[in-house]
Amino acid sequence: MAGDPPKTPILAGVAGHPVSHSLSPIIHTIWAKRVGIEGHYIPIDVPANYDDFVRAMDALRAVGFAGVNVTIPHKEHALRYAGEASETAKAAGAANMLTFSDDSAKAENSDITGFAEAVQEKTAEPGTSALVLGAGGAARGVVLALKDLGLTDIRITNRTLERAKELGAAFDLAVIDWEKRLETLENIDVLVNTTSLGMTGQPPLELDLSGLDPSALVADIVYAPLKTALLKDAEAKGHATVDGLAMLMHQAVPGFRMWFGGEAIVDDDLRSELVKELKRRGRA
């Protein structure tokens, strides 16, 4: 209508350190263009300490950001910063979303639903048993997602046994010694790698899948490279697989809907654009 003031673009972003590698700005930009929303989603590098995180979040709120996704190393900082937190964020002990209001911020964890929905794309019935490699913040979210999917026999293993024991105690999980991980593959329905092993620039994940039932699902939350050695081996043996890109796309949906107010569809076209970007960066 003539004379109406111009709409203020919606502002959101992703905070982490480092953060330049993030594909989240591409995901949100594609969705915004699809639904005709004027908005900007910006990567924000925040030094890896809580005080700097607080200053950055206060500044973003002050300039009118609707919210931010939060990635390593700030997920626990985000939960601490928030005045309110969802039950899933509390259970995970970490948040990957902050939604801002005038005087507060709400923390949520969409990593949990993101992983669950990525698994459900591959199978409606993932089974009852799982082995999770790793015991960091990502593993906590994966464990909660597996529980939401109905898996009841979840086992955890980690290179540092004490961390595995801490996670096992928190979620009532069986703890497996890292050196005995191969012996645990038999009768496992879902295998998930949440460690950095196999990621570009990191040591390989040494895991012989010959003892794993061919019907088992194999997931790796890494997306650089897109197909890790674990996923390549799994595919060669006929396993259904879930890569880190699937989880990344699905976990982005709640934030876009919350901050931009539009529909966010995870489809082949979105995935294709992200794969192109990974190839451009030499990380596919």
DSSP bridge partners of 41 = 12
134 secondary structure, DSSP code? -
Q: Are residues 221 and 250 in contact, defined by beta-carbon separation less than 8 angstroms?
A: no
Helix (H) or strand (E) holding 10: strand 10-16
Q: Cα separation of 129 and 92, whole Å?
A: 20
Tell me how far CA of residue 257 lies from CA of 102, 191, 249, 264, in angstroms.
19, 31, 13, 7
161 burial class (0-12, 13-18, 19+ CB within 10 angstroms)? Answer: middle
Partnered with residue 176 across adjacent β-strands are: 157
Residue 7's H or E segment, with its range, is none
Is 75 an annotated catalytic residue? yes
Token couple for 69: 């996704």
Give whole-number Cα distances, 209 to 103, 195, 216, 221, in Å.
51, 17, 10, 17
Catalytic residue among 75, 232, 237, 279: 75
Beta strands of 24-152 (E only): which ranges? 39-45, 67-70, 84-85, 97-100, 105-108, 129-133
Q: How far apart are CA 167 and CA 155, in angstroms?
A: 10
Amino acid at 115: F
Q: Mind telling me the catalytic residues?
A: 75
